[in-house]
Amino acid sequence: AMLKNPVLVESLIVFTMVLCVHAVVWDQLSWCAVALAIQAFYVQHKWDRLLKSGGAVFQYRPGANSGLITASMAMPLAGIVMKERCEAVGNVYFERFGLTVAATGMVLALFMALIALGITRPVPTQTSVLSGIAGCGIIYTLKNTLTVSEVIEVMEVLLIFVYLSLVLLYLLPRCFSPGEALLVLGGISLATNQLIKASLAAVDRKGEPVYCLLLVAIVGLLLLGIFFAAFFRFVESETWIASLFFHMMTAVLGLGVIMPWFLRIIWRNPILWLLRFLFQTWTRIYLLCYWTVLVTIACGVVLHQNFKRSSSEEESSKKYKASTVVRKYFHFLVLATYVPGLIYDRELLYVAAVLCLAVFVLLEYMRYFRIKPLGQMLRHLLTLFLDDRDCGPLILTHIYLLLGLSLPLWLFPGPCTLKGPLPGTVALAPYAGVLAVGVGDTVASVFGSNLGEIHWPGTKKTFEGTVSAIFAQIIAVALILICDSSISLNASYIWILGSIVLVSLLEAYTSQIDNLILPLYLHILLMV
């Protein structure tokens, strides 16, 4: 009976991961992480009850559980492993940053628990007492661990998170589950706070352009989206005048606000820096040409599928939808994009992923607001590839795919690694997205839908799909070892195998967006 409850099995898998991390890294935050996992497990059921009864404050994504324990543990564990990694090489700045990220993740998770308990009727006494004890223990430990400035930083992120939740969950109903909202909005809040911090520090010193580009892009796109959402509440967005206004204001905000902001932080012309950066070496030029070819192929696949839809719908009245195998073409194309970038030039891939994210989000704004001339066409083209989980007004599947592959690269603390070949599993951490989503999820989906017969209890996922995903990821690790000379695993094969098995089981049981969740957890396990 227990195995037939996917929420319970998902919670057990996440709890196993928490214990695995803390079996290696045991410090003052470990008790906090375990206490947070236990209280999130209890609060998750309250969220699930709210979602089923329709008692939640906002409209969340239907067909998914709250996913609170899965989301609650991601940011604290990422911060803890970063802190441990940076402490090992003596990088005090990033060690303290890792500690702040862990503390921020715990406080945001406690806040979400407080919301759930506050709106559950009748008030769940036992869960409230448990959450109170866990919360007091976590806050007491953080008080004795963090400095005053770090506590202020955590509170700033919480404040930004509260405002963003009120704005974005109201504007975008049914787009996120509570857990996904915690992860996505928590990440945006942390990035916003880091950009404010970098802007204030820019008076004394230059910011790192590559790192700051990501922060500026996230905050710039967020401001742009909120501005247009507010404006198009009162003005019709499907006219040519609205289209002209959209493009003009995007240019004005980009060149008049975001660009000068970036210039102030890095102390140099952003456009000249970017051009110099992109064409610095022949390797970068070759990679950019190769990626251009892949983008052309991707556009060709979309247009070909659209042509098939037109002819199919003419012949029969049935609505044509791209098959799972066709949708996994894009996983293969993204894999072909990321692997050479990770092997030959990670810095270029980092910047290219940020620029690609900006393009994806701008195109989604055009589709969402039906901005002429591309809006209606994008709406028509992208409905072909709609995932079951795209229930709200936004289509986020392709953005989640990009984020899943990029997050391990963006989160990898380069300054906290030793020079020369990286020892142990940490060398594989930037490949977490490639392994979990590009290889594992793709193979599980293709094999599971075509050959799978034995279903995991309580889910649509199959045993054959999960086993084939594990084998495919092991083969991928072997190929990465052959191709990337900077990796030296030092006999940590059992840990890699265990990490891959746990993440593949999580893929089978989670109802959250696996493109986002799986790379984060594989990255955390490989960073230990």
Q: How many CB atoms lie within 10 A of CB 158?
A: 17
Residue 189 identity (one-letter amino acid): S
In this predicted structure, what is the pLDDT of residue 503? Answer: 93
For residue 494, what pLDDT is reported?
A: 87
Long-range contacts of 20-26 (CB under 8 A, 24+ apart): 20/498, 20/502, 20/525, 20/528, 21/77, 21/80, 21/81, 21/524, 21/525, 21/528, 24/528, 25/80, 25/81, 25/84, 25/528
pLDDT of residue 30: 85
| Cα 465 from chain centroid (whole Å) | 23
Residue 517 in tokens: 């969740």
pTM: 0.92
Q: What is the pLDDT of residue 190?
A: 94
Residue from 291, 309, 445, 480 nearest 380 by CA: 309
Give the pLDDT confidence score for residue 321 in this predicted structure.
58
Greatest CA separation for the chain:
70
Question: Is 40 in contact with 72 (CB distance < 8 Å)?
Answer: yes
What pLDDT score does 18 carry?
Answer: 92
Under-50 pLDDT residues of the chain: none
Q: What share of the chain is helix, strand, coil (3-state, %, to 5)?
A: 80, 0, 20
Cα 61 from Cα 489, distance rounded (Å):
40
Instruction: Select from 212, 210, 232, 230 the least CA-distant residue to 222.
Output: 230
Give ∠ CA 301-306-309 in degrees, rounded to 5. Answer: 125
End-to-end CA distance of the chain: 34
pLDDT at 157: 94
Provide the 10 A C-beta neighbour count for residue 209: 18
What is the structure's pLDDT at 313? 58
- The SS3 call for residue 421 is coil
Is the omega angle on the peptide bond into residue 173 within 30 degrees of 0, that is, cis?
no
Rounded Cα–Cα distance for residues 385 and 39 (Å): 38
